[in-house]
């Protein structure tokens, strides 16, 4: 939650409805070393889409071509382009993680999506490509109704503190360990 007046509105809503069903600017963090973080964020996009709600997906650390073809999620999200916008890195256009992030924040301020996915933003901070401060400053600019998902390993402690929900994806067993390093349709 991003500001105290909004916190009041949310607290009030909890007393007036049994299930609070409206968008409320929640911050979700999907972190940990296990498989499924980006995938779960994509599942949220799917679910929101089913309700006719808008999403913006910002892949701050990924290009959308892998092994000569679009990654699966991009091809799929293109078919939802009536409600979903996707931003991504691009070497040619010199789009850095910061550029992608800023674009996503700017568009979110403009179109007020239900959901903003900042995919791999935790890694961008860990890798020194962005600071947690500038991410948080960006989040504070968002309209109150935008729910945000931050994904990536080792989420900075500032994000954990700010978050309304944190799930750690803990790898108990991974097929990487058997030498299976990538499966099209499951990994990309």
Q: Which is nearer to a copy of itself, 18 or 91 (CB)?
A: 18
26 is an interface residue for a copy of itself by CB under 8 A? yes
Answer for which of 41, 89, 104, 148 binds a copy of itself (CB under 8 A) is 41
Distance CA 109, CA 117 (A): 14
Distance CA 73, CA 64 (A): 9
What are 65's strand-pairing partners? Answer: 70
Considering only CA atoms, give the Rg of the chain.
17
Closest to 119 in 3D by CA, of 39, 2, 32: 39
Within positions 72 to 111, which residues make up the interface with a copy of itself, using CB under 8 A?
A: 72-77, 79-80
Binding map of a copy of itself across residues 106-145, x = CB under 8 A, - = no contact: --------xx------------------------------
Distance CA 131, CA 156 (A): 10
183 is an interface residue for a copy of itself by CB under 8 A? yes
38 is an interface residue for a copy of itself by CB under 8 A? yes
Distance CA 118, CA 77 (A): 15
> Which chain residues interact with a copy of itself by CB under 8 A?
10, 14, 18-24, 26, 28-30, 32, 34-36, 38-51, 53, 67, 70-77, 79-80, 114-115, 147, 160, 163-175, 178-186, 188
């Amino acid at each position: 939650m991003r500001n105290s007046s909004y916190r009041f509105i949310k607290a009030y809503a909890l007393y007036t409805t049994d299930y609070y069903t409206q968008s409320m600017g929640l911050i979700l963090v999907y972190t940990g070393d296990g498989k499924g973080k980006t995938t779960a964020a994509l599942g949220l996009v799917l679910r929101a889409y089913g309700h006719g709600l808008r999403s913006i997906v910002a892949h701050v650390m990924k290009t959308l071509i892998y092994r000569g073809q679009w990654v699966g999620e991009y091809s799929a999200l293109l078919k939802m382009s009536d409600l979903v916008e996707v931003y991504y890195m691009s070497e040619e256009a010199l789009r850095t993680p910061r550029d992608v992030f800023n674009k996503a924040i700017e568009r979110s301020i403009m179109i007020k999506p239900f959901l903003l996915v900042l995919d791999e933003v935790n890694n961008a901070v860990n890798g020194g490509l962005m600071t947690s401060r500038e991410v948080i400053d960006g989040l504070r600019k968002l309209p109150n109704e935008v729910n945000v998902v931050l994904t990536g390993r080792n989420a900075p402690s500032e994000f954990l503190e700010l978050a309304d929900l944190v799930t750690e994806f803990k790898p108990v067993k991974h097929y990487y360990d058997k030498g299976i390093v990538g499966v099209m349709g499951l990994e990309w």
